[in-house]
């Protein structure tokens, strides 16, 4: 996007640093945060999963309409000690190399439709799935959480579903869940797609996704809606609770969903 610049402490271009400091777990974990105020403790947890301050962190701010969103996000990561930082510039010829070298990728908040539109036709979605397979940690908050699903909630009641990044394809993620009272929205989605598990994440709360399970961190709760056994089951999880999914996540290129593009907003 015009006006966005890839940069780090030593200037533009690929992230510097030594050997990758990715998670020893493969696929790498996902950090899926509910939005608004994502505490430093959640970001610090993400950084610790990839070895701490020396890890290479890449910010993807394209969900936001604010031109300075990337720089604002960099300041938050620097405040918890991250040293090697960059903002992805989709117009930079080195964008693919920059992304491939990241140990931790963070997707900011904003509008999930705007983000997916920005990434459409680029190699970024496939590269993110491959990065996770290789042990990188992928995290996102608000709109950056919504795109983790394969079937993405758009926020548009006239076209409620769109294509997400399919990093966590067996669930439907809803964010700001308790704060904005989104129970009915997620319930409708799960009833329409009972093969998928609904995961509603409240603000200042996140789930750490490993193969086949996730753990709740932060200050509020996560609500899980599961209709895979015909009868709908609702589970309310507090920080420290874990939820076991029956099948481990498969991070692979998904078949496109036959959906009309949803307008941003």
Which residues are identified as catalytic? 142, 176, 203
SS3 56: strand
Cα–Cα nearest to 249, from 104, 148, 124, 177 = 148
SS3 58: strand
- Listing DSSP states for 107-124 in one string gives E-SS-HHHHHHHHTTSSH
What is the edge-to-edge ordering of all strands in the sheet holding 171-174? 171-174, 197-201, 222-226, 233-237
Please list the residues that pair with 12 across neighbouring strands. Answer: none
SS3 60: strand
On whether the CB atoms of residues 177 and 200 are closer than 8 A, the answer is yes
On whether the CB atoms of residues 125 and 165 are closer than 8 A, the answer is yes
Q: What are phi and psi of 229, to 5 degrees?
A: -105, 30
Joined tokens for residue 48:
């610790």
Q: How far apart are CA 166 and CA 149, in angstroms?
A: 5
């Amino acid at each position: 996007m015009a006006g966005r610049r890839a940069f780090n402490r030593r200037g533009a271009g690929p992230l510097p640093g030594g050997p990758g400091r990715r998670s020893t777990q493969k696929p790498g974990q996902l950090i899926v945060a509910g939005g608004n105020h994502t505490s430093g403790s959640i970001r610090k947890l993400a950084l610790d999963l990839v070895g701490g301050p020396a890890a290479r962190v890449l910010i993807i701010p394209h969900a936001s309409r604010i031109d300075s969103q990337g720089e604002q996000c960099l300041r938050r990561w620097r405040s918890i000690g991250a040293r090697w930082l960059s903002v992805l510039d989709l117009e930079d010829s080195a964008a693919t190399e920059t992304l491939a070298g990241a140990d931790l990728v963070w997707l900011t908040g904003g509008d999930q439709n705007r983000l997916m539109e920005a990434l459409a036709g680029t190699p970024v979605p496939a590269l993110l799935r491959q990065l996770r397979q290789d042990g990188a940690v992928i995290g996102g908050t608000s709109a950056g959480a919504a795109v983790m699903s394969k079937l993405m909630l758009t926020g548009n009641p006239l076209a409620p579903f769109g294509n997400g990044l399919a990093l966590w394809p067996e669930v439907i993620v809803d964010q700001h869940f308790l704060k904005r009272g989104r129970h009915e929205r997620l319930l409708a989605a799960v009833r329409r797609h009972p093969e998928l598990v609904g995961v509603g994440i409240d603000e200042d709360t996140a789930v750490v996704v490993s193969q086949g399970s996730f753990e709740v961190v932060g200050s509020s709760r996560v609500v899980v809606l599961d209709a895979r056994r015909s009868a709908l089951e609702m589970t309310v999880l507090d920080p420290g609770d874990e939820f076991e999914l029956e099948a481990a996540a498969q991070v692979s290129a998904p078949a496109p969903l036959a959906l009309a593009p949803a307008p941003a907003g």
